Chain A
Amino acid sequence: MSQVMIKDDEVDIVIGALQSDLTSFMEEWRPVFSRFHLIIVKDPDLNGELKIPEGFNLNLYTKSDIDKLVGSSSSISFSGYSCRYFGYLVSHKKYIISIDDDCIPARDGKGQIIDAVAQHITNLTTPATPFFFNTLYDPFSKGTDFVRGYPFSLRSGVECGLSCGLWLNLADYDAPTQALKPDQRNSRYVDAVLTVPTRAMMPVSGINIGFNSELVGPALLPAFRLTKEGKLRWETVEDIWTGMCVKVVCDHLKLGVKSGLPYFCRQERGSAIESLKKEWEGVKLMEDVVPFFQSVRLSEAAVTA
């Protein structure tokens, strides 16, 4: 399978900084990040200076930049995890990869860093196959193909708009699940990428994603926030909401959404039980929100994201 060549300057890596000391995070990712331009957006609620090591090609945005661009309008909040959406707004690149600042690269069996950015780029630049499920997963991966019975007319696939990666160690569970299984760690490396079929809904986690901003950028808006949204992932659903919007848009525009590789290694932070003590509306809201997304139909006239 030929490696799709894309220019490094077509890619932005957007990082929402929710912690002030990014040194170890950046150093872990240096072998992967050094080729690319980075956009780091500091959580406007975070006090103090960010600590960022030297030697990266980056632009840093802080509260003052955010206020300058969007004013003090209260309709969009970029605080907490939503700060990265500001990065999406200011980027001019075609491909955007977003990584939470508590993730480090995963390593393969030989201890080599897995280049997650390259995998996202591969996912985004090879076709997706949302209309028929291939039982050998991504047919465009090396060493595999479409299986017997896969209609030929569907084998050229469609463009991929979104690439959703996964997490080793601390998987993206909600607070009740993590509180119930405090020692559960994800150690299973599932060596596959697959296209999530059209009309299938899924929870898109913002921890590890890549997208084609020309195709789906406008659909990634931090529109949905819990009134008491916190600074830990399991106290947010902003990415879940955004993800469902993107999936509906992709289904309508006949674009693909892939899920699977790459894996990051996600590190410990926070206490799930502490999070449970807060009023946890996200669960109830999902029950109303999901039937809406499952039944929403976009008009024929809607041809862009």
Chain B
Amino acid sequence: MAASKSSTPLLKDELDIVIPTIRNLDFLEMWRPFFQPYHLIIVQDGDPSKVIKVPDGFDYELYNRNDINKILGPKANCISFKDSACRCFGYMVSKKKYIFTIDDDCFVAKDPTGKEINALEQHIKNLLSPSTPFFFNTLYDPYRDGTDFVRGYPFSLREGVPTAVSHGLWLNIPDYDAPTQLVKPLERNTRYVDTVMTIPKGTLFPMCGMNLAFNRELIGPAMYFGLMGDGQPIGRYDDMWAGWCTKVICDHLGLGVKTGLPYIWHSKASNPFVNLKKEYKGIYWQEELIPFFQSLTLPKDCTTVQKCYIEISKQVKLKLGKVDDYFNKLADAMLKWIEAWDELNPSGASTGVPNGPAK
């Protein structure tokens, strides 16, 4: 058996953990054994005068709304307010290669043997091993211990492609939409599916931002979480929007998106009636959005994520502006996001300036 005893690299100087919060960060205590080596970027949503206490011993920077306004100036309104979509500000100001983002109501889950799951370690494994989007392997991720490519899998495709996104799942409260929550308020996800797989090229999926990691250098600029929350007609579609844009761009650039392990324990069921109000426009808009993304093609000269993203924003304006004026505003915000991203992350400055505290 190949020596798989080499442990997964920590990547502690190459990965930032981005956490949006409006309440508190008590959940970090449970994650301490796994998160303490890493730098945290806390994006504080809501009232900036509230003091959010970060548990002792963590290395972090914290940004509230005042900081966002100061850093982005006139572009600040592309970052949502009163919605966890604001987390993407954390992606923008990070200087690391990898991002892991997690919600503040997500705790450490246990696998079927009772062992606590180090979700971050699994995300790192997923991101550091290739993806296989061009041909589906029936034994799922062939790079995991104890498995491989099956008979019939073309050898020329066995090197795979770089993995840009690792999408994790949730035990306990599943990520259902409001109508499903209303119909099945007591349903809990108790099934531990021991697999990671690549989502095939050309297939869209609903990307949940609760337990997500990505390679910021490969795909960062695509992870804009849109205009949600206060003053916006829609909520709870931030991660969906980012996921559809990201998947189209990954497919175009030949990058992989994995889903499956790791699981976290999702503890809080949000109020389905509140959710319904936020989602209802999204539910019928998405019937237009999905065909839009499914038929979206990017020209060959879109060779960077930024170019792809700008092209998508043009198509959004052209084709979705007529669905609702919201999409015109969203297209403009997408451009602002890319401009802000490029200003804060000038190309070539891969070492970047040392990351100091927000204030």
Report A's interface with B, CB cutoff 8 A.
132-137, 141, 143-154, 164, 166, 171-174, 177, 181, 183-184, 186-192, 196-205, 233-234, 237, 239-240, 243, 259, 283, 286-287, 290, 294
Q: What distance in Å separates the Cβ of B83 from its nearest Cβ neighbour in chain A?
A: 14
Q: A135-B259, A190-B195, A287-B156 are in contact. Are A201 and B136 (CB under 8 A)?
A: yes
Q: A164-B138, A166-B139, A173-B151 are in contact. Are A144 and B203 (CB under 8 A)?
A: no
The chain B residue sitting closest to A189, CB to CB, is B194
Residues of A within 8 A of B153 (CB): 174, 203
Q: How many residues of B contact A (CB 8 A)?
A: 59
Are A150 and B206 in contact (CB-based, < 8 A)? yes
Residues of B within 8 A of A177 (CB): 148-149, 151
Are B174 and A144 in contact (CB-based, < 8 A)? yes
Q: Which of B93-101, B183-191, B336-344 contacts A (4 or more CB under 8 A)?
A: B183-191
The chain B residue sitting closest to A137, CB to CB, is B193
Kindly list the 5 A-B residue pairs having the minimum CB-CB distance in the complex, ordered from nearest: A203-B152, A149-B206, A200-B200, A240-B152, A197-B203
Report B's interface with A, CB cutoff 8 A.
1-2, 134-140, 146-157, 167, 169, 174-177, 180, 184, 187-195, 199-208, 236-237, 239-240, 243, 259, 279, 283, 286-287, 290
Residues of B within 8 A of A233 (CB): 151
Are B193 and A197 in contact (CB-based, < 8 A)? no
Are B167 and A149 in contact (CB-based, < 8 A)? no
Residues of A within 8 A of B157 (CB): 290
Residues of B within 8 A of A243 (CB): 152
**Residue of B148, B236, B283, B287 most packed against chain A (CB within 10 A):** B148
Are A149 and B138 in contact (CB-based, < 8 A)? no
Are B203 and A191 in contact (CB-based, < 8 A)? no
**Of the residues B136, B177, B202, contact of A196 by C-beta under 8 Å:** B136
Cα separation A286 to B151 with both chains bound (whole Å): 10
Residues of B within 8 A of A188 (CB): 146-147, 194-195
State the main secondary structure of chain B at its contact with A.
Answer: loop
Residues of B within 8 A of A191 (CB): 191-194
Q: A145-B174, A148-B240, A283-B155 are in contact. Are A173 and B148 (CB under 8 A)?
A: yes
Q: What distance in Å separates the Cβ of B84 from its nearest Cβ neighbour in chain A?
A: 13
Q: What distance in Å separates the Cβ of A152 from its nearest Cβ neighbour in chain B?
A: 6
Q: A149-B206, A286-B155 are in contact. Are A133 and B199 (CB under 8 A)?
A: yes
Are B155 and A186 in contact (CB-based, < 8 A)? no
**22 pairs across A/B with beta carbons < 8 Å?**
A144-B189, A145-B187, A148-B177, A148-B279, A149-B237, A149-B240, A154-B290, A166-B138, A166-B139, A177-B148, A189-B194, A190-B140, A192-B195, A197-B199, A200-B136, A202-B135, A203-B153, A239-B152, A283-B155, A286-B152, A287-B155, A294-B134
Q: What distance in Å separates the Cβ of B161 from its nearest Cβ neighbour in chain A?
A: 15
Are A146 and B167 in contact (CB-based, < 8 A)? no
Residues of A within 8 A of B154 (CB): 286-287, 290
Residues of A within 8 A of B189 (CB): 136, 143-144
Are B152 and A186 in contact (CB-based, < 8 A)? no
Q: What distance in Å separates the Cβ of B278 from its nearest Cβ neighbour in chain A?
A: 11
Are A146 and B180 in contact (CB-based, < 8 A)? yes
The tally of CB-CB contacts under 8 A between chains A and B is 180
The chain B residue sitting closest to A139, CB to CB, is B180
Are B135 and A132 in contact (CB-based, < 8 A)? no
Residues of B within 8 A of A183 (CB): 1
Q: A201-B135, A259-B138 are in contact. Are A174 and B151 (CB under 8 A)?
A: yes
Are A171 and B176 in contact (CB-based, < 8 A)? no
**Residue of B199, B204, B279 most packed against chain A (CB within 10 A):** B204
**Of the residues B151, B187, B192, contact of A205 by C-beta under 8 Å:** B151
Are A200 and B174 in contact (CB-based, < 8 A)? no
Q: What distance in Å separates the Cβ of A245 from its nearest Cβ neighbour in chain B?
A: 13
Cα separation A144 to B170 with both chains bound (whole Å): 12
Apart from A190-B193, A198-B203: 7 A-B pairs, beta carbons within 8 A: A148-B177, A150-B177, A177-B151, A181-B148, A202-B136, A283-B155, A287-B155
Cα separation A202 to B197 with both chains bound (whole Å): 13
Q: What distance in Å separates the Cβ of A60 from its nearest Cβ neighbour in chain B?
A: 29
Q: What distance in Å separates the Cβ of A209 from its nearest Cβ neighbour in chain B?
A: 11
**Residue of B2, B140, B150 most packed against chain A (CB within 10 A):** B150
Are A199 and B206 in contact (CB-based, < 8 A)? no
The chain A residue sitting closest to B291, CB to CB, is A151
Q: What distance in Å separates the Cβ of B152 from its nearest Cβ neighbour in chain A?
A: 3
Are B148 and A199 in contact (CB-based, < 8 A)? no
Residues of A within 8 A of B137 (CB): 202-203
Cα separation A294 to B169 with both chains bound (whole Å): 30
Q: What distance in Å separates the Cβ of A266 from its nearest Cβ neighbour in chain B?
A: 12
Residues of B within 8 A of A205 (CB): 138, 150-152
Are A171 and B174 in contact (CB-based, < 8 A)? no
Residues of B within 8 A of A198 (CB): 203
**Of the residues A148, A153, A186, A237, contact of B287 by C-beta under 8 Å:** A153
**Of the residues A186, A197, A283, contact of B200 by C-beta under 8 Å:** A197
**Residue of A196, A202, A203 most packed against chain B (CB within 10 A):** A203
**Of the residues A145, A172, A287, contact of B150 by C-beta under 8 Å:** A172
Cα separation A137 to B1 with both chains bound (whole Å): 31
Residues of B within 8 A of A153 (CB): 287
Residues of B within 8 A of A147 (CB): 174-177, 206, 208
Are A151 and B290 in contact (CB-based, < 8 A)? yes
**Residue of B152, B188, B279, B287 most packed against chain A (CB within 10 A):** B152
Are A152 and B167 in contact (CB-based, < 8 A)? no
Residues of B within 8 A of A173 (CB): 148-151
**Of the residues A135, A141, A187, A237, contact of B152 by C-beta under 8 Å:** A237
Q: A186-B139, A197-B200 are in contact. Are A171 and B150 (CB under 8 A)?
A: yes
Q: What distance in Å separates the Cβ of B123 from its nearest Cβ neighbour in chain A?
A: 15
The chain A residue sitting closest to B151, CB to CB, is A174
